[in-house]
Amino acid sequence: MKRREVIALFGGAAASVLLRPLCADAQQTDRMRRIGVIMGFSAEDEVWQAYLATFKGRLQELGWTEGRNLRIDYRFTGASTERTRAAAEEIVARAPDVIFVSTNPVVSAVLQATHTLPIVFTWVSDSVGSGYMTNLAHPGGNITGFHNFEPAIGGKWLQLLNEVAPAVRRVAVLHVPEIVANVAFIRTAEVAAKPLGMTVTAAGVRDTADIDRVLTEFAREPNGGFIVTPSPLTATSRNVITAAAARLGLPAIYPFRFYAASGGLISYGVDQLETVREAASYVDRILRGASPGDLPVQLPTQYQLVINLKTAKVLGLTVPELFLQRADEVIE
């Protein structure tokens, strides 16, 4: 065989090797794939509309367009346990290629419905403590995703509240008792409270009526404030919570920016839109053949500190200048 023929032979083989994965990738994105989406929130809420728009936008950047090569089935459950269970069963019955979920209660419901369909989560805390997996770096099984908080954040929330409202000595932790991660936040807040000379009270709630009743009862004694833990209930009831805080004169710290935008005093938490973009990248990898059990659960690395000065003034608080300088956003 002549040298020119050898070069042509091997050159053609190399080209086919290089092109094969590209062709396979194109085939994957050309055929219709299905995603099931279950959100523990209301479909009408503009916060979650932006959340899902960001999710779909990132998928489109990665080659997945709804209606062309992607079909998405949506379920919005709010804080209802019954709707959450029903949504999990309905989506699993459709056997999508991957299920994208938010919140601990939704993850728990979907894992009860399937141990085989791939699951990617956001808005979840303490996966190991909640029993979703035993190892974050190597989750195994059919689930992976992105944490919004680790249990130690409970102590951080308490410290930030103490900086802005140093007169607060009694702190209620508004939480849903059935969410294991919520209880873990209380434990770390209790540890942080001792050196600050503060006391922490677990304030369990299960519906919106509970929230107003529990906070009203707590406010009967002076020098109180509270921490709001993340859950479908507290998120969908945020206007009720911030209104009660203002009416009762209770300084409070919240887990996400949208609480501060709704009138909450302080928020400290992850950038939700950035997290959902990252989660969409995991969904893309699974649609292209990756196993969720091989994708490590990602922990939060950056937090946003937001202070609402309007609310601080209503509560008669003077926010320290150093605190304002540390804030990522000041709402005036």
Which tens digits make up the pLDDT trace of 26-84? 555 678 999 999 999 989 899 999 999 999 999 999 999 999 999 999 999 999 999 99
- Does one domain contain both 62 and 139? yes
Any idea what the CATH number is for the domain that residue 82 is in? Answer: 3.40.50.2300
Beta-carbon contacts of 326 under 8 Å, excluding residues fewer than 6 positions away, are: 305
Domain with 23, as residue range(s), is 1-30
For 150, which DSSP code?
-
Which tens digits make up the pLDDT trace of 119-173? 999 999 999 999 999 999 999 999 999 999 999 999 999 999 999 999 999 999 9
- Does one domain contain both 67 and 176? no
- Does one domain contain both 60 and 45? yes
- Does one domain contain both 49 and 3? no
DSSP 42-76: -TT-HHHHHHHHHHHHHHHHTT--BTTTEEEEEEE
- Does one domain contain both 121 and 163? no
- Does one domain contain both 102 and 82? yes
- Does one domain contain both 170 and 242? yes
Q: How many domains does the chain have?
A: 3
- Does one domain contain both 144 and 157? no
Task: Tell me what percent of the chain is helix, strand and coil, each rounded to the nearest 5.
Answer: 50, 20, 30
- Does one domain contain both 158 and 258? yes
Question: 145 in helix, strand or coil?
Answer: strand
pTM above 0.75, yes or no: yes
For 298, which DSSP code?
B
Which tens digits make up the pLDDT trace of 100-134? 999 999 999 999 999 999 999 999 999 999 999 99
- Does one domain contain both 73 and 49? yes
- Does one domain contain both 173 and 225? yes
